[in-house]
Amino acid sequence: MSLRNLFLRSLAHHNKLVKIAPCVSAVQNLKYNNYEEKNEWFYYNRKIATALLSAVVISTVQDDQNSKNEKDTLIDAGAKRPDLPTFRAEEVSKHDNKESFWVIYKYGVYDVTSFLPSHPGGEQIMNAAGYSIEPFWNVYGMHKTQEVYKLLESYRIGNLHDDDVADYSDDELWVKEPYRDKRLIVKTAKPFNAEIPPQYQIAHFDTPNELFYVRQHMPVPELSEEEHTVTVTIVGDGTSTISLTLQDIERFPQVTVRAALMCAGNRRSEMNKVKPVKGLSWQAGAISCATWRGALLRDVLLACGLDPRDPRNVERHIIFTGADIDATGTHFSTSLPLNAALAADAQVLLATHMNGERLPLDHGYPLRVVVPGAPAVRSVKWLQGITISTEESPSHWHQKDYRSFNPSKTWETADFSTAPPVYSLPVTSAVCQPLDGDTVTADDGHIDIKGYAYSGGGAKILRVDVSLNGGASWEEAELVTDPAPPRRHYAWALWSARLRLPDPKASTVDIWVKATDSNFNTQPENFDHIWNIRGILSNAYNKIKVNIKH
Amino acid sequence: MSLRNLFLRSLAHHNKLVKIAPCVSAVQNLKYNNYEEKNEWFYYNRKIATALLSAVVISTVQDDQNSKNEKDTLIDAGAKRPDLPTFRAEEVSKHDNKESFWVIYKYGVYDVTSFLPSHPGGEQIMNAAGYSIEPFWNVYGMHKTQEVYKLLESYRIGNLHDDDVADYSDDELWVKEPYRDKRLIVKTAKPFNAEIPPQYQIAHFDTPNELFYVRQHMPVPELSEEEHTVTVTIVGDGTSTISLTLQDIERFPQVTVRAALMCAGNRRSEMNKVKPVKGLSWQAGAISCATWRGALLRDVLLACGLDPRDPRNVERHIIFTGADIDATGTHFSTSLPLNAALAADAQVLLATHMNGERLPLDHGYPLRVVVPGAPAVRSVKWLQGITISTEESPSHWHQKDYRSFNPSKTWETADFSTAPPVYSLPVTSAVCQPLDGDTVTADDGHIDIKGYAYSGGGAKILRVDVSLNGGASWEEAELVTDPAPPRRHYAWALWSARLRLPDPKASTVDIWVKATDSNFNTQPENFDHIWNIRGILSNAYNKIKVNIKH
């Protein structure tokens, strides 16, 4: 049987031909709007093929067996079930406790709350709360039996959304993915993208490493601090190349910089409500703060022979290349204007440490760039190349993403080649406690509200105003900020306010928050006029509604 | 007759007792909200007293004369005429041409258009177009006769608003005021505050010196470049003082910085429409741009022995004192955090030149500070003192003004001691052509629109969006910007757009403009939630309505 016939037979067998065919055709004809999307489609496409082929194998086995006993039919654990509802990974991740305990296996979503007391491995199962059990089963292979599959399927409640399905097979690209803290809110599993839950954002000024939000474009590469090198290339008359080991970099004066890193798409889900945008539907959890340690990139560049007074610098860029590669073998890369790294006060780090520990695998081990005040995409992880050039990075991530347009630009009219790259971030803020839809108990007619605020480019958060009456009146919140020199306020601010309810008997209240930074910029009131196709820079007032219990 | 009796008799004589008494009482009981206001009241108060006393003298003379001939009654030229309407200086300044030529004399406003051909001094009179003739008459004393007064009063059309009346008597504080270009739009004459007309803002990238907007707090001091010195005082263990001549300062490397200076109250008149604020009712003309030349303050401070690595710097301030004094003898003064002047990339200048010429008298001759990216108040003119201290400037201008509050703070609840001083400015923009209420001729269904945009703190203007349909769609304007390294974009951007009218038959169109800077901050849509008692940082969208002629 040819592969094609197997494929078609499988499709027919699974009665999905009508559904799958247009999808495959759509994949083939897709005009990719950006590379990330293409990349995601690539994996998705492969995932379809893999899933179908597995199905074919199973079906073929079944056909060949001509099994007489229906009970003995092989269980295809985790296969799609068109009769069941679809869940996002984010929704599943909320069911992470003994009251409601869901897990994922391939396409399957399972509510195993009632099974917990019977788990032969005891509390070990808690590690998979709201998450996929597949990586654990890959380690603990005893689960992979028809009996366990059958038991698992008896708890089946739904299907995982296609975009969130991870391939935990022995695919060489993904096999080295690190263990992730189960408290992270998984947005997509492959590449791994996860928010820090809001209650943990406000619990620490420096986010614990394991709770720092994760935004990957590709699989995490496997590197070692002993063998890792960074190649510095200066393009020009007689292009020169210098190779530096981690030990070389650690010989420079070690500097610490406290900086929040925020994805340019943080809070995209709120902008998405105005009109759909393309991109991961981040809520307010794509920002965390840490104290980073490493060498000043400026020091390294000077040691490599760059002259900060060279007039050519104005036209030059510094391109960072990561060790992470996409399915076509292309390395992640982006760039900054050279002077942003070479200016006398530039605080760009080649960082080896995060909150006093070696960088975790998910955050660039053993070496990453930290560009404080810039969107996190510029802080390239797993750094292996630095190139000084008159050109910006040619990569798709640099050229076709992280650029801003006005609300009238469409994917057809937006010209990425003339739009300025996003090298800094506007002032923003969010409520982390309570959350939209929460029920809060009023205390003597008051409620407590907490959250964060941040502004890029080294601007300090000077004021956070909170309103419980749609902006008719505003109260200043108490701020916790990091002391830093002017124009170097790279950390976030945490804030809290205890506010009197405007109507002591109302059953709901709207909470609005806006921040003002040291340039006295403040947030736009609504998303309408900052809306953009990619859903980045989504910094309008955070507006939520909560229920009040009296 | 006692002075008090003279005063009261004069009041009775002028039948103004009822109107003046509560006013005098109000002056006496005034709880000054800020020093500028107090200062203005001081002058105003004195002005009332002066005006009343002159009136008393005239009345007394009249009484004593018991004049038999009504025709011989002395003309009190420029006295208030309750029967006539009141005009603001700004309105008068628009009547500056041969079609409509108005002038001011004391409280009097005169339409002398028909007199122009008869003026014995010929075209000389054009210098006073839309302006006070009093300073010219002080020079050309032949005007000061009863005949000329009588002639003048025959052209009388109204009274000048109290706040705009200048005292051109031989008051020693004001006698040295420089000649000002008559094209400036006078907001208040004493102290002299005047906008650049919008058409001149967009006519030049570097504003010609004589058209640069003027914002004074006090009379212009008389200084000479030969004798002027600046005293640098470093407060601390063994306070040291260094005196520098202008020649000393000019021996440092000379640096040019292109920087717009903007009053923190620019566009206050738009915020004022939400709810009245206190302060000069600036339209969008309190910003201009120039290329400044001088020594880097950083270089001077290093030469004075300051160490940029001194950890005490974080807590220190640099206080600038001007030679301008108020009526109590207090010098103008304000301060910056020391590191803003001492950081490696700090571009704060001790400037001697403006657009290639020695500083004009109105702009700080012979020496001023230029703090690019900061509100213009920090760019202290007529600089005579620099003090390094652990305290901010104790002056009223620093402590009781140029601080920001949220919209709910009132003069009663605002705490200036805890509000952060405004050291930078948010992104803003304005339409300079056409103006609100103008009639524009549509050209093939299009109109041309021009204006400026600016952001403080060295942020570059990246995009200006214009909407003709209330934000339903936006078009990008063409920008003219100054090339500068990242974080050093201190100039403004000029922009222009040729836009298709959304409704080709409509008789009016709304124009909205908003700018986005390199931190991707943009302007708030409305003034409501940025409103503040002092009316500063008034940077919401500029929204105007124009008439369309087809």
pLDDT number for residue B166: 78
What is the C-alpha to C-alpha distance for residues B48 and B54, in angstroms, rounded to an integer? Answer: 10
User: Which tokens belong to A7?
Assistant: 């494929």
Helices (H) and strands (E) in chain B, counts: 12, 27
What is the C-alpha to C-alpha distance for residues A483 and B311, in angstroms, rounded to an integer? Answer: 13
Helices (H) and strands (E) in chain A, counts: 12, 27
In chain A the domains, ranked by start, together with CATH numbers, are 3-18+53-164 (3.10.120.10), 185-399 (3.90.420.10), 428-549 (2.60.40.650)
Give the number of A-B residue pairs with CB atoms closer than 8 Å: 134
Nearest to B406 among A407, A474, A529 (CB): A474
User: A426 and B522: CB-CB below 8 Å?
Assistant: yes
Q: From residue A310, how far is each of A307, A391, A505, B484 by CA, in Å? A: 5, 17, 67, 14
User: B457 and A530: CB-CB below 8 Å?
Assistant: no
The pairing of strands A439-441 and A542-549 is parallel
Q: Does A423 touch chain B (CB under 8 A)?
A: yes
**Span A411-423, mean pLDDT?**
95
User: A483 and B314: CB-CB below 8 Å?
Assistant: yes
Quick check: A225 and A358 in contact, CB under 8 A?
yes
B141 pLDDT band, cuts 50/70/90, is low
The answer to whether residue B45 scores a pLDDT higher than 70 is no
Number of Cβ within a 10 Å radius of residue A245: 14
User: Which tokens belong to B201?
Assistant: 């803002």
The three-class DSSP label of residue B104 is strand
Interface with chain B: mutation pick from A345, A529, A537, A542, highest number of B CBs within 10 Å: A529
B398 pLDDT band, cuts 50/70/90, is very high
The three-class DSSP label of residue A544 is strand
Cis peptide before A191 (omega within 30 of 0): yes
The answer to whether residue A146 scores a pLDDT higher than 70 is yes
The answer to whether residue B43 scores a pLDDT higher than 50 is no
Residue pLDDT, tens place only, A109-119: 999 999 998 88
A139 pLDDT band, cuts 50/70/90, is low
Cis peptide before B372 (omega within 30 of 0): no
> With a CB-CB cutoff of 8 Å, which residues 66-125 of chain A face chain B?
none
Q: Is B263 a catalytic residue?
A: yes
**Which of A22-31, A123-132, B69-78, B240-249 shows the lowest mean pLDDT across its residues?**
A22-31
Residue pLDDT, tens place only, A451-480: 999 999 999 999 999 999 999 999 999 999
Radius of gyration of chain A (CA): 25
Quick check: B278 and B414 in contact, CB under 8 A?
no
Q: B207: which DSSP letter?
A: P
Nearest CA in chain A to B470: A529
What is the C-alpha to C-alpha distance for residues A302 and A83, in angstroms, rounded to an integer? Answer: 63
DSSP3 helix / strand / coil % (chain B, rounded to 5): 25, 30, 45
Radius of gyration of chain B (CA): 25
- Give the burial class of B510: count Cβ atoms within 10 A of its Cβ; 0-12 exposed, 13-18 middle, 19 or more buried: middle
The answer to whether residue B236 scores a pLDDT higher than 70 is yes
> With a CB-CB cutoff of 8 Å, which residues 250-269 of chain B face chain A?
none
DSSP3 helix / strand / coil % (chain A, rounded to 5): 25, 30, 45
Q: Does B308 touch chain A (CB under 8 A)?
A: no
Which residues in chain B have their CB less than 8 angstroms from residue A473's CB? 407-408
Strand runs labelled E in B338-412:
349-354, 357-358, 368-370, 383-389
pLDDT number for residue B127: 78
pLDDT number for residue A14: 38
A58 pLDDT band, cuts 50/70/90, is very low
B326 pLDDT band, cuts 50/70/90, is confident
Q: Is B143 a catalytic residue?
A: yes
Listed in sequence order, the residues at least 6 apart from A447 whose beta carbon sits closer than 8 Å to its beta carbon are A434, A440, A498, A499, A501, A509, A546, A548
**B487 to chain A, minimum CA–CA distance in Å?**
8
The pairing of strands A508-517 and A542-549 is antiparallel
B485 pLDDT band, cuts 50/70/90, is confident
Place of tokens 């790279």: A490
AA letter at A482:
D
A118 φ, ψ (degrees, to nearest 5): -90, -5
The answer to whether residue B29 scores a pLDDT higher than 70 is no
A123 pLDDT band, cuts 50/70/90, is confident
**Quick one: what percent of chain A has pLDDT higher than 90?**
72
Which residues in chain B have their CB less than 8 angstroms from residue A420's CB? 462-463, 518
**A272 to chain B, minimum CA–CA distance in Å?**
17
User: A487 and B343: CB-CB below 8 Å?
Assistant: yes
User: What distance, in Å, lies between the first and last C-alpha atoms of chain B?
Assistant: 69
What is the C-alpha to C-alpha distance for residues B377 and B383, in angstroms, rounded to an integer? Answer: 13
A74 pLDDT band, cuts 50/70/90, is confident
**Span A136-150, mean pLDDT?**
77
Nearest CA in chain A to B344: A344
Active-site residue (options: B183, B215, B217, B534)? B215
Average pLDDT for chain A:
86
pLDDT number for residue A435: 97
**B476 to chain A, minimum CA–CA distance in Å?**
8
pLDDT number for residue B73: 74
A140 pLDDT band, cuts 50/70/90, is low
- Note the ipTM here: 0.75
The answer to whether residue A104 scores a pLDDT higher than 80 is yes
Q: What is the largest CA-CA distance in chain B?
A: 83
